[in-house]
Amino acid sequence: MNFGFSHTDSQPDDSCHFNLKHSDGLCALRETCKLILCWLGLIIAIAPLSSARSTPEVKVDQIVIVKSRRTMTLMHHAQALKTYRIALGAVPVGAKEKHGDHKTPEGDYVISGKNPHSQFHLALRISYPNTVDRERARKLGVAPGGDIMIHGLMPQYASLGSRHRETDWTDGCVAVSNAEIEEIWKLVPVGTPVKIRP
């Protein structure tokens, strides 16, 4: 077998020949291995660059919650990335008006912070109350309340997973499973607009 890299002279020497008729088999194998290792090194060096270019990180630029449908959709450039089924406050109909009414707000907000140490696994704070909410509460003579989050489940209920959605159980927050809030946490930056609709 001739790989096309043999020397032209016929005198024996100590160099490696790819003409297997005139070379030591072990030497030829050594050179072949070197060539293979070179190619593998090149492939390994190039692969991460190719992967980084082909899988850019996508960040959510809007969250749309529709209470009547029990859905929360993550958006990017007006395109839906993913929709989650959610649980709402224990009084799901109507906009939140005051502290302790167990209603989920309705209006336009932003994600104003993240709590990695939440008792509900992970939590994204919604900027309730906004100006409209405060004015409504003022007219009613009540405190508007606060601490509205998108969060997961407490440790003792984590095993429920998606079954937690069988009832609306929060104090006014938006709840998903722990696996879902972990995914949402990575995709949603602080400052993301949140639209909550009836």
C-alpha 68, offset from chain centre: 25
- Looking at 56, 76, 91, which one is the last position of a domain? 56
- Using CA atoms, how far apart are residues 63 and 189, in angstroms rounded to an integer? 11
* Amino acid in position 152: G
Q: Tokens 């004015």 identify what position?
A: 135
Do 80 and 146 reside in the same domain of the chain?
yes
Q: What is the pLDDT of residue 58?
A: 81
Do 26 and 70 reside in the same domain of the chain?
no
Do 104 and 147 reside in the same domain of the chain?
yes
Task: Measure Cα distances from 107 to 63, 68, 101, 131, 193 in Å.
Answer: 12, 14, 17, 10, 11
Do 101 and 179 reside in the same domain of the chain?
yes
CATH number for the domain that contains residue 161: 2.40.440.10
Do 109 and 178 reside in the same domain of the chain?
yes
- Whether pTM > 0.85 for this model: the answer is no
Q: What is the pLDDT of residue 57?
A: 66
pLDDT in tens, 44-102: 554 444 333 333 468 899 999 999 999 999 999 999 999 999 999 999 999 999 999 99
Report whether the peptide linkage leading into residue 144 is cis, meaning its omega lies within 30 degrees of zero.
no
Kindly report the three-state secondary structure assignment for every residue of 1-33: CECCCCCCCCCCCCCCCCECCCCCHHHHHHHHH
3-state secondary structure of 196: strand
Give the domain extent around 39. 1-56
User: Where do runs of H (alpha helix) occur along 55-140?
Assistant: 131-140
Please give the tally of structural domains in the chain: 2
pLDDT in tens, 135-178: 999 999 999 999 999 999 999 999 999 999 999 999 999 999 99
